[in-house]
Structure 1
Amino acid sequence: MHFVRKSTCLALVLAIFAAFPAQAEFKGVLDTPATQTHLAAQRPLNAVAAAGARLVAVGLRGHIVYSDDHGNSWEQAAVPVSSDLTAVFFSSERSGWAVGHDGVVLHSDDAGQSWQLQLDGHRADTLIKDYYGKKARQGDAQAAALLPDIELYFSSGADKPFLDLWFANDEVGFVVGAFNMILRTDNGGKSWTPWFDRIDNPLRLHLYSIRGQGEQVYIAGELGLVAVLDRDTQYFQAIPVPYTGSFFGVLPVASGAVVHGMRGNAFRFDENGANWQKLDTGVLGGLTGAAMLDRNRLALVSTAGDILIGKLSSGRFENLTATRGMLFAGVAFVPATKSLALVGNNGAAVVPLIEQ
């Protein structure tokens, strides 16, 4: 889904120790702003979204870039951390959030030009443990049962990633991530409430994607997990699915949603998950991004470099030719130019759509 590269260089480590005094304090990614580089739009990017007419993309090492000319050129934003970022979402033209590794939640109120840190893994660790610890002391049996899993989850450190987010408006939203991590805010991210106990996920599967439309909110995740928010109980109820592979994304469509994931698998289902239709993508690459083009057409992209345009009415797709080959991680529709903004391991690219 995203392209995190790890490497070790002994010479570099020795040079760092030689250049700084022994008492110098080591700064981690949460204390180190993203490095400014004119190559940021050519480095690995994991997600792209629209902020009004602006495009905003996020990627490795805290890189966030934005474009005001429909993806033809990009500027790098100021970001206070250098954690790898996995997803971005704008609830309005100016207000948006990005999430990533190390429990990072960033907020922008200027359409993605600058960002502020709202949450990190250390604060999330304390918040979650305190929340369920208090409930357990008050006699909540479910909270008491969750605490061992939460302790185990954070025992190796506060480095767990958020993998996606969705906001209904500038105040109400969710972030989701590895091992069932889900938090909700009602005040634009100023404070967060853990929702570990409000989702039907006893195996603590990873939550890869969350999206909503109107009063319908969907989560897609590991091992075929699909959950729908019950409006009355405010609980994400898992629904039966015809596939047990992981779903990397969920996209609301008319009267339901589309989920997409491993080995080219994509399905459309109705609001309650009672009826499912397998979409004929014709590819085997993992489907990592999706965008609606109109009420009937959508685009899908894959880690094998596929760009698919299909119709919900027929469930069939055609493959577009990429102007810049890469392992795609995300896609956004650009209505002004009738094109697709694409991101992946080689940065950002734009592909014009063929009129159908």
Structure 2
Amino acid sequence: MTMIKWTLLAALASAMAVPFTRPVIADGFADVLDTPALQSEYAMHSTYTGLTQAGERLIAVGQRGHILYSDDAGKHWKQAQVPVSSDLVAVTFPTPQSGWAVGHDGVVLHSRDAGQTWSRQLDGRRIGQLLLDHYQPRLAEQPDDADLQQRVSDAQRMLDEGADKAFLDVWFESARVGYIVGAFNLIFRTDNGGLDWTPLLERTDNPSALNLYALRPVGNDLYVAGEQGLVLKLDRASGRFNAMPTPYNGSFFGITGKPGAALVFGLRGNVFRSTDDGASWSKVELALPLSITASSVAADGRIVLVSQAGHVLVSTDDGASFHPRQNTVTSPVAAAQVTFDGALVLAGTQGLRRLAHD
């Protein structure tokens, strides 16, 4: 399965998307990397794929560079100022003020004011050169290293192709240290708040360059999930992401859990749980053959999973079992967030909706 979760949701959204007016460009082309996100009264109805908390503020990111923020747990929203109109996929705030969002065209955005305004730190036009600058000096020292030869060749190809890259998730452990992951094994780390990014492609057990869909901590462990049953865990001593064997070879779209219980979830309702730091995984039976595309953990310890179609499943036993929550409306969902007041906000092809705490 090589289809990115965002691509699937975007396809579902295409028939129902609200039309947006674009600026008229004299030469017939406007690069989304140079076109600020349009301020629009219809922004609430756009497709959204990422949600997070910034303190008690809720932040949503999505299609056409739209970013919304809410200070009342998703009841009302305001639109942020964003310098690009690339589709955004994921967002994280390690502190109430400082956060990052990533998406298509290799975009990495940073906010210093709790998500009200954003600046660009990286885009796909720079990624190929960044990779070349990292791997070419190493190849000069080890000219017979086949792995480095391939990485330099791949970097040159990315440079030649331009901005067509996709980052699919982002997570920061502090306001300075963070990671971004994406298509074809793209993975970078920053130690200075995104001013510089270090490639980690050679530090992953991912020889087939599978897509990396999700990046999340569970307890003290940092996991990456991707295609073909790929689950990686960071070994902090070596700085390497080591493969964790799983009993499933389909795509995993996300990671969730709490100390002592990690869960990965993905295609066709497949959810697997580990209680031994990722060394082994057992299947969690959901009786729901739909892809699981979103998750959140409540302050009271409940773990929430949401299907591609919007079914909400809740666990009160650390992910060992889940029971369905009654929904009044179902629609494709890409992200979920339990808010400070216990409500559940869902993001997807029909915008943002809030389900009160039951």
Say if 2:346 and 2:353, in contact at 8 Å, map to a contact too: yes
Partner residue in 1 for 2:18: none
Q: Does 1:339 align with 2:335?
A: no
Distance 1:275 1:295, change over 3 A: farther
1:87 to 81, 86, 90: 90
What do residues 299-320 of structure 1 show as CA deviations (whole Å, max 9, x unaligned)? 0111122111123457222222
Residue type of the alignment partner of 1:66: Y
State how far apart, in whole Å, the 1-side matches of 2:328 and 2:77 are. Answer: 17
Say if 1:330 and 1:343, in contact at 8 Å, map to a contact too: yes
Distance 1:303 1:134, change over 3 A: same
Alignment of 1:202-351 (within 5 A): 202-213=207-218, 215-294=220-299, 296-313=301-318, 315-336=320-341, 338-351=342-355
Secondary structure at the counterpart of residue 176 of structure 2: coil
1:145 to 137, 143, 150: 150
Mean alpha-carbon deviation: is it higher for 98-107 or for 152-161? 152-161
Distance 1:113 1:271, change over 3 A: farther
Residue type of the alignment partner of 2:236: R
Alignment of 1:95-110 (within 5 A): 95-110=98-113
State how far apart, in whole Å, the 2-side matches of 1:239 and 1:71 are. Answer: 36
Residue type of the alignment partner of 1:341: V
Secondary structure at the counterpart of residue 223 of structure 1: coil
Mean alpha-carbon deviation: is it higher for 146-155 or for 209-218? 146-155
1:201, CA displacement in angstroms? 0.2
Secondary structure at the counterpart of residue 274 of structure 1: coil
Partner residue in 1 for 2:10: 4
State how far apart, in whole Å, the 1-side matches of 2:254 and 2:188 are. Answer: 18
Say if 1:165 and 1:175, in contact at 8 Å, map to a contact too: yes
Residue type of the alignment partner of 2:113: D
| RMSD, aligned CA | 2.2
Aligned residues: 343
Partner residue in 2 for 1:41: 44
State how far apart, in whole Å, the 1-side matches of 2:319 and 2:181 are. Answer: 32
State how far apart, in whole Å, the 2-side matches of 1:262 and 1:74 are. Answer: 31
What do residues 245-265 of structure 1 show as CA deviations (whole Å, max 9, x unaligned)? 100001242224210100111
1:214, CA displacement in angstroms? 5.5
Distance 1:42 1:314, change over 3 A: closer
Partner residue in 1 for 2:204: 199
State how far apart, in whole Å, the 2-side matches of 1:132 and 1:214 are. Answer: 33
Distance 1:25 1:286, change over 3 A: same
Say if 1:118 and 1:190, in contact at 8 Å, map to a contact too: yes
Q: Does 1:31 align with 2:34?
A: yes
Say if 1:55 and 1:68, in contact at 8 Å, map to a contact too: yes
Secondary structure at the counterpart of residue 92 of structure 1: coil
Secondary structure at the counterpart of residue 138 of structure 2: helix
Q: What is the TM-score normalised by the length of structure 2?
A: 0.90
Say if 1:4 and 1:84, in contact at 8 Å, map to a contact too: no
Distance 1:28 1:320, change over 3 A: same
Partner residue in 2 for 1:130: 133
Residue type of the alignment partner of 2:39: Q
Residue type of the alignment partner of 1:116: S
What do residues 148-188 of structure 1 show as CA deviations (whole Å, max 9, x unaligned)? 33344555332110000111100000000000000100000
Residue type of the alignment partner of 2:105: D
Residue type of the alignment partner of 1:129: L
Say if 1:308 and 1:317, in contact at 8 Å, map to a contact too: yes
State how far apart, in whole Å, the 2-side matches of 1:133 and 1:312 are. Answer: 50
State how far apart, in whole Å, the 1-side matches of 2:340 and 2:29 are. Answer: 46
What do residues 121-158 of structure 1 show as CA deviations (whole Å, max 9, x unaligned)? 01112111221112111227242232233344555332
Secondary structure at the counterpart of residue 263 of structure 1: helix
1:213, CA displacement in angstroms? 4.4
Say if 2:129 and 2:155, in contact at 8 Å, map to a contact too: no
Distance 1:154 1:267, change over 3 A: farther
State how far apart, in whole Å, the 1-side matches of 2:150 and 2:226 are. Answer: 23
Alignment of 1:46-125 (within 5 A): 46-125=49-128
Secondary structure at the counterpart of residue 116 of structure 2: coil
Where does the alignment leave 5 or more consecutive residues of structure 1 unmatched? 8-15
1:273, CA displacement in angstroms? 2.2
Mean alpha-carbon deviation: is it higher for 25-34 or for 90-99? 25-34
Residue type of the alignment partner of 2:210: L
Say if 1:323 and 1:351, in contact at 8 Å, map to a contact too: no
Say if 1:184 and 1:192, in contact at 8 Å, map to a contact too: yes
Distance 1:79 1:324, change over 3 A: farther
Q: What is the TM-score normalised by the length of structure 1?
A: 0.90
